[in-house]
Amino acid sequence: MFLYESNSAQPNPLQFSDATVALTSTLSIMGANHVIRWIIGKAPKPGTPFPLDRLFHEPELTRMRAAIHYAIETGQPGTGYDTEILCDAGFKIICNYTLNPIYGPGQTITGALLSFQNRQKAVGPDRTIPHSPGRYRLPENEMLIEKLPEAVFTITIHWRISSFNQMAEKLTGYKREEAIGKYCWEIFRSDKCKLSCPLRTALDSGQSAMDQEVRILNKEGVRQAILVNTNVLRDDSGLVLGAVETFRPLTGEIHPLDGVDYHHSFDNIVGKSESMQRLFTMVPDIAASDANVLICGESGTGKDLFARAIHHHSLRSQGPFIAVNCSALAESLLESELFGHEKSAFTGADRTKPGRFELARGGTLFLDEIGDLRTDLQVKLLRVIEQREFERVGGTRSLPMDARIISATNRNLTESIQQGTFREDFYYRLRTVPLTLPPLRERKEDIPLLVSYFIRRLNKKYNKTVRSVDLKVMRFFQNYHFPGNIRELERAMEHAFVFVKGPVIFMSNLPAPEEFSLSGAKDAASGPPVRDPKSKEAVLWAISSSRGKRQEAAELLHLSRTSLWRLMKKYGIE
């Protein structure tokens, strides 16, 4: 990586500490620095094969090819390998080599960057080549590999930038003329510049550093996450002359919510899509009132989170938030759970028990899956909402109802009214203020933000330091239909956290294809063959599509597992 100046017409290759060549997946030359010329005996031309078989003998040749293909196929860098190069002039050079994947357009791996670091004097067949005096300087105007599709820059031992390639210009926003000669921290303004700089670590330890996550500020002041690799630059005598760093964007990374993105979040709800931003502006006004709210949306869209956000920002925030899942409780116990019961009101009632309406006094009562409530209970709840009082089961004394009602459902209540399973007067009492939450497939621009949110939350839960997801994972998420919405995305991310080993989540860390597949999502997107999700045809379709898995069948119909079981019993489906 150094330019060599000497009075001799033919510079000794030993006078160069690093020889670097960029190879394609077919081991052809993409680019190289001038040191390679003295190793292979001619100027390297892009597109020509790199003569590995001439520079190495077996078994080193096989190991070298395997290491290069491994870096290209897996994206994993390699360092610390020792080898012996057979130079064109007949010299043998004992050196150490490193491998780094090269990322091209779209963050696809297009090749590998192979660097050799000289470790000792060259040795001829019968003699040692003496060291010739010379002087070194870091390149100022000549780039090592100018067209390399990965950002590269070098610094001197005085921390001044000495080279800056085109990709570094693109990612930082600084032109080469602006960066050359500046201290590296003046250009990158990283959060680690003063505390744990990867370049300083490399210079202090003399070892390369791989896949270090760093946040920088580009020229426009926008914070960006990058993944960096660093190494020291030495002359043939081992003297440290500087350091080199390659870096690329950290895919899937989103700015943290504790930074500049407060407008993309509301309590524990995140989203930058137009639909979510509209909901965020509505919630404070809704919370300031005491009106009943009906939240509609598919399973997994976050209806409970919105209910809690409304409560936390309301005048009742100091009171309790009591949630009731109307589909999870047995029908025989639901009335007792809501209103409470007196002692001896029914068999097994050995004591007086307050209901959820009493427990929610001064706060909020959240009635989830209200669409599953049977008709006779709808009548009783309607009376409670209108008269603001209720009686315990088996009791005669009226108790005041002092709680705000927030309801939620994944059903189309308009269709339920037409089918006679939901009372119209009860519906309009509940929906004084309606909120409709969009499914995740209609707000795909929020997926990167949600991924970033789950990464930060799960890092705390599992005590890990995951920083991003691989680009293939993000593409998969963007193309996936997500029938389970945000809940399904969260489940996939948590599954990945169990198995991920490094800072990046890859496709291999996600759930198995049979649990998490595009085909299954498309089947879910097509919907049942009939409009009524409670019809026998719809139930049979869901059971068939889910291969007999009841929970998946219930999600396809947007029903609770209990509701599906009741329908199966009704239609005699085993």
Q: Provide CB contacts within 8 A for 77, sequence distance 6+.
A: 71, 98, 99, 100, 101, 210, 211, 229
Cα angle 213, 215, 219 (rounded to 5 degrees) comes to: 140
Q: Decide if 251 contacts 469 (C-beta within 8 A).
A: yes
Q: At what angle do helices 447-462 and 485-499 cross, to 10 degrees?
A: 40
User: Residue 411's closest CA among 559, 570, 189?
Assistant: 559
Question: Mind giving me the DSSP string for 71-86?
Answer: HHHH---EEEEEEEEE
For the segment(s) 138-250, the CATH number from 3.30.450.20, 2.30.30.100, 1.10.4160.10, 3.30.1360.120 is 3.30.450.20
Tokens of 124: 């001829």
Sheet hosting strand 18-24, strand order edge to edge: 29-32, 18-24, 109-118, 92-103, 78-86
- Evaluate whether 55 touches 40 at the Cβ level (below 8 Å): yes
What was the pLDDT predicted at 335? 78
Q: What are phi and psi for residue 246, nearest 5 degrees?
A: -110, 145
Chain mean position to CA 77: 21
Q: Which CATH number fits domain 440-521: 1.10.8.60, 2.30.130.10, 1.10.150.120, 3.30.230.10?
A: 1.10.8.60
pLDDT at residue number 126: 35
**Tokens representing 254?**
């989103």
| Helix, strand, coil abundance in the chain, percent, nearest 5 | 35, 25, 40
Which residue intervals of 56-154 are DSSP H helices? 60-74
- Give the chain's mean pLDDT: 77
Q: Is 198 helix (H, G, I), strand (E, B) or coil?
A: helix
Tell me how long the chain is.
574
Look at residue 50 in the predicted model and tell me its pLDDT: 87
Which pLDDT belongs to residue 433?
A: 92
What CATH class is the domain 1-135? alpha beta
The dihedral built from the CA positions of residue 268, 439, 298 and 314, taken in this order, carries a sign that is positive
Compute CA distances 198 → 232, 251, 446, 452, 512, whole Å: 11, 20, 32, 24, 36
Nearest in space to 503 (alpha carbons), one of 186, 30, 9, 75: 75
The token duo for 172 is: 């930082």
Question: Checking DSSP bridges between strand 321-325 and strand 364-368, what pairing results, if any?
Answer: parallel
Q: Give the whole-angstrom CA distance, residue 365 versus residue 374.
A: 18
Gap between the Cα atoms of 364 and 320, Å rounded: 6
Task: Kindly give the parts of the chain with pLDDT less than 50.
Answer: 1-16, 121-144, 252-262, 517-526
How many C-alpha atoms does 532 have within 13 Å on its Cβ side? 11
Report phi then psi at 403, rounded to 5: -150, 145
Q: Give pLDDT, residue 357.
A: 87
Q: Rg of the Cα trace of the chain?
A: 33
Bridge-based pairing of strands 240-249 and 265-266 is unpaired
Specify whether the CB–CB gap between 4 and 132 falls below 8 A.
Answer: no
Q: What is the pLDDT of residue 14?
A: 42
Which residue has tokens 């990058």? 226
H or E element, residue 531: none
Q: What is the pLDDT of residue 241?
A: 75
Do residues 439 and 297 lie in contact, with contact meaning Cβ atoms separated by under 8 Å?
yes
Per-residue pLDDT, 296 = 94
- Cα–Cα distance measured from residue 542 to residue 57, given in angstroms and rounded to the nearest whole number: 62
pLDDT at 12: 46
pLDDT at 489: 93
Instruction: Detail the DSSP E strand segments found in 345-429.
Output: 353-354, 364-368, 389-391, 398-400, 404-409
Instruction: Name the maximum alpha-carbon separation found in the chain.
Output: 111
Angstrom distances, CA of residue 311 to CA of 172, 314, 367: 44, 5, 13
Domain ranges of the chain: 1-135, 138-250, 274-436, 440-521, 527-571
- The answer to whether 1-135 and 138-250 have equal CATH topology is yes
Give pLDDT tens digits for 444-486: 989 998 998 899 889 988 888 888 888 888 888 888 888 889 9
Measure CA of the first residue to CA of the last residue in the chain; give whole Å.
73
Question: Which pLDDT score is estimated for 496?
Answer: 93
- Cα separation, 370 vs 326, in Å, equals 6
pLDDT digits (tens, 9 = 90+) for 163-222: 888 888 888 999 988 888 888 888 988 867 766 677 877 777 766 776 677 888 888 887
- Residue recorded with tokens 């009632």: 349
pLDDT of the residue at 70: 77
CA 97 to chain centre: 32
- In tens, the pLDDT along 304-335 reads 999 999 998 888 888 899 988 887 766 667 77
What is the CATH topology of the domain spanning 274-436?
A: Rossmann fold (3.40.50)
> Which residues have a Cβ under 8 Å from the Cβ of 83 and sit 6 or more positions away?
56, 60, 64, 94, 95, 96, 97, 116
pTM over 0.85: no
Distance CA 569, CA 564 (A): 9
| DSSP calls for 248-277 | EE-TT----TTTT-GGGEETTEE--SHHHH
pLDDT at 260: 32
